[in-house]
Structure 1
Amino acid sequence: MQQLHPDDKTRSFYVGISITLVIALMAALLGKIPYLDIVGQLVLAIMIGMIWGHTIGIKNSHRSGVQFSSKKLLRVGIILLGLRLNLSDMHDAGLHAFLYAGLLLTIALVTVYSLARLFRVDKTLSILTACGTAICGAAAIVAIAPLVKAKESTTAVSVAVIAVLGTMFTFIYTLMYPLLPFTDYQYGIFAGGTLHEIAHAVAASTAGGEKAENIAIVVKLTRVALLVPVAILIGIYVKRRESQNDKQRFSLKTLPIPWFIFGFLAMSAINTIGFLPGSVVNLLIAAAYLLLSMAMAGLGLNVEFSVFKKSGLHVFLAALLGTLVLIGCGYSLIYVMGLG
């Protein structure tokens, strides 16, 4: 096999990155089209990547650049996404809204993971899908994936399942809004607490007006913030399991802490204190979504459809049933907790 010259390797590396950039820009443009904006550019990026990978394809020499996008740029994107979170908004929403988000997150995590394991889905895919349902869809899945050493094809399956479910329920919520016995404020809490992606929560809550949309974003971003403790707990669980298998003593020093999550919190703090002008924050958030879209494109380019055939139906069923449990609990807790 002929070895590539260093200059050719460098060129191929940047070509791989460029392919993910092109796909990300296509997803961003498509994401502005009515109805497709509900799906969101992250999900569109992985879908386009999957289609590209199985039609046009990519050369093996370009895969290093694709891998860079799906792993390194992913972390930078997650860090910058922290600028969407204003910690003071979470404080103003009150303890009840925080408890509401925390309870639903816990219920969804346990339910989806348990159902997936009951349906004999492997542990890694079960964890990723549970986190995607409970926390913040694709962003949570790709943040947790390195901790559980998930294959890109496994990560892509989980992202696709949550994308389909989230989009489906976004349409259902919008249609059902006039029939629900909620105030606009309660509807916003409900949407933010039970839908998967930030884009889903925003799109569905729009039906209830500005008041519903504002509280939906706060509740949803509270779930996003809880990604940090969940990631740390999963990291501890994985390390303990590895220590038992290798018969090594567990140590916090060797814990694979996702440091980029703390970058996410640092960006949230910067946004909270108003250190950066609003125009700069908006620009950086747009950059975050572009980088995350490039990461999703990288995932899509490496999808193997055989993985869908093997696990897709079972994990979809687990996530669907878990989402229905989440919706039922979210509906009930609004009245039990006296929210709104």
Structure 2
Amino acid sequence: METVEQQKMKSFPMIGGVGFTFLIAVIGWGLAQLPGFAKLGPMALAIIIAIIYRQIWDYPISISRGIQFSAKMILRFAIVLYGLRLNIQLIIQDGLGLLAIDGFVIIFAIGITVLIAKKMNANPSISLLVGIGTGVCGAAAIAAVSPILKTKDEDTAISVGLIALIGTVFALLYSFLFPFLPIDAESYGIWSGISLHELAHVALAAGVAGQDALAIGLLAKLGRVFLLIPLSFTLLYLEKRKGENNEKAKITFPWFLIGFVVMSIIGSYITTYNPMGTASLLDPIADISSFLLTMAMVGLGLNIHLQQVRKKALKPLATLVITSILLSIVTIGITKLL
């Protein structure tokens, strides 16, 4: 039977890691109150601090469980809460159209990545993974399809690192470019949602344009997350046809998508009918969700190790950058047509 001390030792990696992401998030929010930093925003500041920390002091292994909890579980909880800020009318008007665009984005990203990788003689396994990560939902998509594609653990880890690195760079770049782009806030949110790599990257970039832009951006991104399911089954079917995979791969359903939709319905009711002035309750919930997203992005930033791009990852990295640029150009053209 475990002693109290043993139980404390087991819980420390979780509590310590979550607390560490909380601390850096607080620093980011604090810096955002200072002149000159406010425009960049607390989420961007926090993730920059996390990346710098990782490169100087390396990854804090002893509290890694808590850091990963922030990067994955807290992120999903924050996304669910953000559903309260989404008016259901946006789903009715734009949801199906966005889903069709999301499907195009996935096909385009994977196809272009594979094509460029062949031309550059890049590592095919890593290139395919980053193509899927770019088109769908970053590290989550890579983690879902890796068992199906039977990729090496090293290739999977490198792919996740590349997606985290380039996705963060593009999210920050989007944030800087927003004031100079010839599109309105809603279109910018859609552009972020249909072109950026991770949910956290969409939240980081779209957040600078306001709550409505963030909400529609997350809706567009969650459509890509949802399409991970048919994509995974398609890959499983193709692998079985090739005779390279005779086992069923477990595909995790993104349940937080359901939570996001449910919360959007609740938020839509509150916003539309405003019973007893309860719409004012959404503001503090939005603040809490924003802070939780900041903690999640700290966890993401701590996973970025610049040394991972060396050797076998250099060509896939170049492929990923080219694909991301092309995807950004094509999708901003699409948003201007909507």
What is the TM-score with the length of structure 2 in the denominator?
A: 0.69
Task: Give the counterpart of 2:165 among 142, 146, 160.
Answer: 160
Corresponding residue for 2:149?
Answer: none
CA distance 1:272–1:65, shift in 2 (3 Å)? same
Corresponding residue for 1:174?
Answer: 179
Task: Give the drift of 1:92.
Answer: 3.5
Task: Give the drift of 1:64.
Answer: 2.9
Task: Give the drift of 1:142.
Answer: 4.7
- Deviation string 1:22-55 (CA, Å, 9 cap, x unpaired) is 1122233345567756665445444322332344
CA distance 1:89–1:319, shift in 2 (3 Å)? same
Contact 1:162 1:319 in 2 (8 A): no
Q: Distance in 2 between matches of 1:288 and 1:106?
A: 32
Corresponding residue for 2:289?
Answer: 288
Corresponding residue for 2:190?
Answer: 192
Corresponding residue for 1:22?
Answer: 23
Q: Distance in 2 between matches of 1:333 and 1:16?
A: 40
Q: Which moved more, 1:286-295 or 1:122-131?
A: 122-131
Q: Distance in 2 between matches of 1:328 and 1:59?
A: 37
Aligned residues: 312
Corresponding residue for 2:222?
Answer: 225
Q: Which moved more, 1:278-287 or 1:235-244?
A: 235-244
CA distance 1:279–1:238, shift in 2 (3 Å)? farther
Task: Give the drift of 1:20.
Answer: 1.6
CA distance 1:256–1:313, shift in 2 (3 Å)? same
Q: Distance in 1 between matches of 2:223 and 2:269?
A: 20
Task: Give the counterpart of 2:269 among 250, 273, 280.
Answer: 273
Task: Give the counterpart of 1:263 among 259, 262, 282.
Answer: 259
Q: Distance in 1 between matches of 2:331 and 2:176?
A: 18
Identity across the alignment (%): 21
Cα RMSD (Å) = 4.3
Matched ranges for 1:302-313 at <5 A: 302-310=303-311, 313=314
Letter in 2 for 1:247: N
Q: Distance in 2 between matches of 1:265 and 1:255?
A: 21
Q: Distance in 2 between matches of 1:302 and 1:188?
A: 30
Q: Distance in 1 between matches of 2:47 and 2:56?
A: 14
Contact 2:82 2:286 in 1 (8 A): yes
Task: Give the drift of 1:321.
Answer: 2.8
1:247 aligns with 2:252: no
Q: Which moved more, 1:18-27 or 1:80-89?
A: 80-89
Letter in 1 for 2:285: L
Corresponding residue for 1:180?
Answer: none
1:74 aligns with 2:71: no
Corresponding residue for 1:61?
Answer: 62
Stretches of structure 2 lacking an aligned partner (at least 5 in a row): 147-152, 197-201
Is the partner of 1:147 in helix, strand or coil?
helix
Q: Distance in 1 between matches of 2:130 and 2:42?
A: 20
Contact 2:171 2:204 in 1 (8 A): no
- Deviation string 1:243-289 (CA, Å, 9 cap, x unpaired) is 654523x58xx533232332233223332333894343333333333
